[in-house]
Amino acid sequence: MDPGFNPQRLIELVSKPMPFGKYEGTLYYRLPVSYLEWFARKGFPPGKTGMLLQTVYEIKLNGLEFLLERIKREMKI
């Protein structure tokens, strides 16, 4: 496993809302791909928010969002 990988990050994606912008209040994993693509072009914000946005973007880009749905379901969040 990647030493930089933190499983808690996946839990945050299914339980934390976007803190600002057009989709404020939307859980990270529910953000539309077009919004994530915009950040990918313009630059992700610094800090934890940018890291979460970039992580969910990579997950969706690789067609792995089903994993987040499963985590959400199994954790009953």
45 within a domain of the structure (yes/no): yes
41 found inside a domain = yes
Range of the domain at 46: 7-70
- Structural domain includes residue 64: yes
Total domains in the fold of the chain: 1
Asked whether residue 15 is assigned to any structural domain, the reply reads: yes
In a domain, 20, yes or no: yes
- Helix (H), strand (E) at residue 35: helix 33-42
Q: Is residue 38 in a domain?
A: yes
The CA distance from 50 to 65, in Å, is 18
- Asked if residue 50 is part of any domain, the answer here is yes
Give me the pLDDT at residue 77, please.
61
> Residue 27: phi, psi to the nearest 5?
-60, 140
Question: pLDDT tens track of the chain, all 77 residues?
Answer: 455 678 899 999 999 999 999 999 999 999 999 999 999 999 999 999 999 999 999 999 999 999 999 998 888 76
Structural domain includes residue 18: yes
Residue type, 63: G
CA 47 to chain centre: 14
**pTM of the full predicted structure?**
0.88
